[in-house]
Each structure stands twice: as C-alpha cells, then as structure tokens.
Amino acid sequence: MQDFRNLDVWKKAHNFTLKIYQVTETFPKIETFGLAAMLRKGSSQIAMKIAEGCGQGTDGALASCLKQARGMGVEVEYQLLLSRDLQFIEAESYQVLQDQLIEVRRMLSGLMKAVPV
C-alpha cells in the first residue's frame, strides 16, 4: 500500500481540483448545482480515485481506480470545454486548466503502464 500523497500525479490532480474550485466561484448562480457542481465533483473524483486505488492494497485494484480516474478526466475535459463555450471560463483560463488536465491524464496513463496487473 502506497501513500497517495507521495504520488506526483495525485499532487497535480489535487492542485487541479483547487483551481477548478476557484474558477467555478465566478460561474453564474444558476449553475451552482449544475455545471459548477459537476466540474467540482469530477475534478475531485480524479484525485479521490487515485487515493482509493492506493488504499486498496492490490495492483489490480490500483489499476482499476487509475483507469476510472483517467475516464473521469475525459468527462471533466468536456465540462471544461462546455464551460468555455458558454463563456463561464475565459479562453486563457480554459487553456491553462486544459493543459493541467492533459498532464494529469498522461501521468495516469504512464502510471497505469507501470502497475502490474
């Protein structure tokens, strides 16, 4: 069992979630329980799944959780795109968040390859 807090991918996913929380503060009030909530939940799920996988104690469980985290990253990627297109996020902020998310997804893919199944 590995401490998730020691994983660079978890640190980046956690930082990404913190930034999502900041950005969604400016969303229209009508989106409090809509897109803002989905972005917050989705981004935090990425880091949570990494943590869960580390706590499971088996390589198979870790691999499964990493796969779920990567899949959640794709969902969040679309939510970011939608937020930009609805003009809830400025193009510059969108690009910074998108780049961070892509990095997390790449790191997850790399870690998945390193975990024996």
**CATH for 24:** 1.20.1440.60
Residue 116: pLDDT band with limits 50, 70, 90: confident
Give the model confidence (pLDDT) of 89-115 as tens digits: 999 999 999 999 999 999 999 999 998
Percent helix, strand, coil in the chain, to 5, is 80, 0, 20
E strands, the chain, in order: none
Q: How many domains does the chain have?
A: 1
pLDDT, averaged across the chain: 95
Q: What pTM was computed for the model? A: 0.94
Helix (H) or strand (E) holding 108: helix 91-114
Longest dimension (CA), the chain: 45
Tell me the CA end-to-end span of the chain in Å, nearest whole number.
Answer: 15
The owner of tokens 């691999």 is 63
> What is the residue range of 28's domain?
4-114
